[in-house]
Amino acid sequence: MPKLALLLLVVTIPAIAELKIPENPLYETIQDEVYLQEIPTLIPTEHALQTVAVFEGTAYVGDAQGLWKVDGEQLKKLDGPTGDITAIKTLNDTLWVLGPNGIWNFDGKKWEQVHDGKVTDACVHNGKIVFSTDTELLEIKEDASPSSVVKLSAPVLGLESYGGTIYVHDGSQVGRILMGAIRYRGVADWGHLERGATIRDMMALGSRLYVATDEGLGLLRGMTWYSIQGEDGLPYEDTTTLAQGFDRDLWIGTKRGAIRNVEDEYHFFGHQRWIPHDQVNAIACGDKVTYIATEGGLGIITYEPYTLAKKAAYYERWLDEWGMKRLGFIHILFDRDGQWLREVSDNDVGYSSHYMSAKCFEYAVTGNPEARAAAVDMMKTVKWSEEITSIDGFPARSIYAVNELTVKADHGSGGLPAEWHATPDGEWEWKGDTSSDETDAHVYETAIFLSLVANAKEKVWATEHLERVAGHIVDNGFFLRDVDGKPTRWARWDPEYLQTPYGYYARGLNGMEAFNYMTTALHFTGNQKFQEGIVELSKQNYFREILQQKVTFSPLEFTHFDDRLAFYSYFPLVQFETDSTLKSLWRQSLERSWEIKRIEAVPWFNFIYGALTGNDCESDKAVAHLREWPLDLRRYSYHNSHRDDLYPPKGYRMYSERPKQLSMRATAPNRWDGDFMRLDEGYGGSMVADPGGWLDAYWMGRYYGMISAPKTNDKSLTTVPHRGLQLGAKPYDGPSRPKLEHEQ
Three-class DSSP labels, 523-557: HHHCCHHHHHHHHHHHHCCCHHHHHCCCCCCCHHH
Bridge partner residues of 687 (DSSP): 334
The string of DSSP letters for 411-467 reads: B-GGGPBP-EEE-TTSSEEEE-S--HHHHHHHHHHHHHHHHHT--HHHHHHHHHHHH
The 10 Å Cβ neighbour count of residue 503 is 17
The string of DSSP letters for 132-173 reads: E-SSEEEEE-TTS-EEEEEE-SS--SEEEEETTEEEEE-SS-
The 10 Å Cβ neighbour count of residue 352 is 28
Instruction: Determine the Cα–Cα distance for residues 275 and 257; give it in Å rounded to an integer.
Output: 8
Q: In this predicted model, what pLDDT tens digit does every residue of 4-44 receive, in sequence order?
A: 333 333 333 333 447 999 999 999 999 999 999 999 999 99
Greatest Cα pair distance, the chain, in angstroms, is 99
Torsion of CA 72, 76, 80, 81, to 10 degrees: 100
Three-state SS for 507?
Answer: helix
Contact between residue 225 and residue 191 where contact means Cβ atoms under 8 Å apart: yes
Instruction: Determine the Cα–Cα distance for residues 72 and 709; give it in Å rounded to an integer.
Output: 35
Q: In this predicted model, what pLDDT tens digit does every residue of 97-156 receive, in sequence order?
A: 999 999 999 999 999 999 999 999 999 999 999 999 999 999 998 888 899 999 998 999
Of the candidates 192, 293, 194, 298, the residue with the CA atom closest to the CA atom of residue 243: 293
Q: Tell me the backbone φ, ψ of residue 424, rounded to 5 degrees.
A: -55, -30
Q: For the purposes of burial, counting CB atoms within 10 Å of the CB of 380, is it exposed (0-12), middle (13-18) or buried (19 or more)?
A: buried
Q: In this predicted model, what pLDDT tens digit does every residue of 376-391 receive, in sequence order?
A: 999 999 999 999 998 9
The conformation of residue 643, written as its DSSP 8-state character, comes to -
Contact between residue 622 and residue 651 where contact means Cβ atoms under 8 Å apart: no
pLDDT the model gives residue 4: 35
- Cis preceding linkage at 272, omega within 30: yes
The residue-averaged pLDDT of 255-271 equals 97
Of the candidates 601, 602, 38, the residue with the CA atom closest to the CA atom of residue 273: 38
Instruction: Determine the Cα–Cα distance for residues 36 and 39; give it in Å rounded to an integer.
Output: 9
The residue-averaged pLDDT of 554-571 equals 84
Q: Which residues of 152-168 are buried (b: 16+ CB within 10 A; e: fewer)?
A: beeebbbbbbbeeebbb
Instruction: Determine the Cα–Cα distance for residues 324 and 348; give it in Å rounded to an integer.
Output: 12
Contact between residue 688 and residue 322 where contact means Cβ atoms under 8 Å apart: yes
* pTM for the predicted model, two decimal places: 0.95
Lowest mean pLDDT among 612-621, 673-682, 727-736: 673-682
The conformation of residue 209, written as its DSSP 8-state character, comes to E
- Cis preceding linkage at 398, omega within 30: no
Q: In this predicted model, what pLDDT tens digit does every residue of 310-351 receive, in sequence order?
A: 999 999 999 999 999 999 999 999 999 999 999 999 999 999
Contact between residue 36 and residue 491 where contact means Cβ atoms under 8 Å apart: no
Q: Residue 551 — pLDDT band, cuts 50, 70, 90?
A: confident
Q: For the purposes of burial, counting CB atoms within 10 Å of the CB of 9, is it exposed (0-12), middle (13-18) or buried (19 or more)?
A: middle
The tally of CA atoms less than 13 A away on the side-chain side of residue 69 is: 14
The residue-averaged pLDDT of 476-503 equals 94
Rg value, the chain, Cα: 31
pLDDT the model gives residue 557: 58
Amino acid at position 535, single letter: V
Q: Are strands 165-169 and 174-178 parallel, antiparallel or unpaired?
A: antiparallel
pLDDT the model gives residue 555: 56
Residue 3 in this model has a pLDDT that exceeds 70? no
How big, in percent rounded to 5, are the helix, strand and coil portions of the chain?
A: 30, 30, 40
The tally of CA atoms less than 13 A away on the side-chain side of residue 735 is: 13
Three-state SS for 501?
Answer: coil
The residue-averaged pLDDT of 75-94 equals 96
Amino acid at position 525, single letter: T
Residue 515 in this model has a pLDDT that exceeds 50? yes
Instruction: Determine the Cα–Cα distance for residues 697 and 605; give it in Å rounded to an integer.
Output: 8
Q: For the purposes of burial, counting CB atoms within 10 Å of the CB of 460, is it exposed (0-12), middle (13-18) or buried (19 or more)?
A: middle
Q: Tell me the backbone φ, ψ of residue 178, rounded to 5 degrees.
A: -140, 120
Contact between residue 514 and residue 536 where contact means Cβ atoms under 8 Å apart: no
Which residues are CB-contacts of 144 (< 8 A; sequence separation ≥ 6)? Answer: 112, 114
Fold of 307-743: Glycosyltransferase (1.50.10)
Residue 266 in this model has a pLDDT that exceeds 50? yes
| Rama region for 178: left / alpha / beta (φ>0; ψ in -120 to 50; rest) | beta
Laid out side by side, the sheet with 74-82 consists of 51-55, 58-63, 66-71, 74-82
pLDDT the model gives residue 505: 86
Which residues are CB-contacts of 199 (< 8 A; sequence separation ≥ 6)? Answer: 157, 158, 169, 170, 171, 172, 173, 174, 193, 211, 212, 213, 218
Q: In this predicted model, what pLDDT tens digit does every residue of 41-75 receive, in sequence order?
A: 999 999 999 999 999 999 999 999 999 999 999 99
The conformation of residue 561, written as its DSSP 8-state character, comes to H
Q: Between vectors from CA 484 to CA 478 and to CA 487, what angle results, nearest 5°?
A: 25
The residue-averaged pLDDT of 228-248 equals 97
Residue with the bigger pLDDT between 414 and 394: it is 394
Of the candidates 703, 246, 682, the residue with the CA atom closest to the CA atom of residue 453: 703
Instruction: Determine the Cα–Cα distance for residues 652 and 645; give it in Å rounded to an integer.
Output: 15
pLDDT the model gives residue 262: 97
Three-state SS for 17?
Answer: coil
Contact between residue 350 and residue 440 where contact means Cβ atoms under 8 Å apart: yes
Instruction: Determine the Cα–Cα distance for residues 28 and 705; give it in Å rounded to an integer.
Output: 8
pLDDT the model gives residue 415: 80
Q: In angstroms, how far is the first alpha carbon of the chain from the final one?
A: 17
Mean pLDDT of the chain: 94
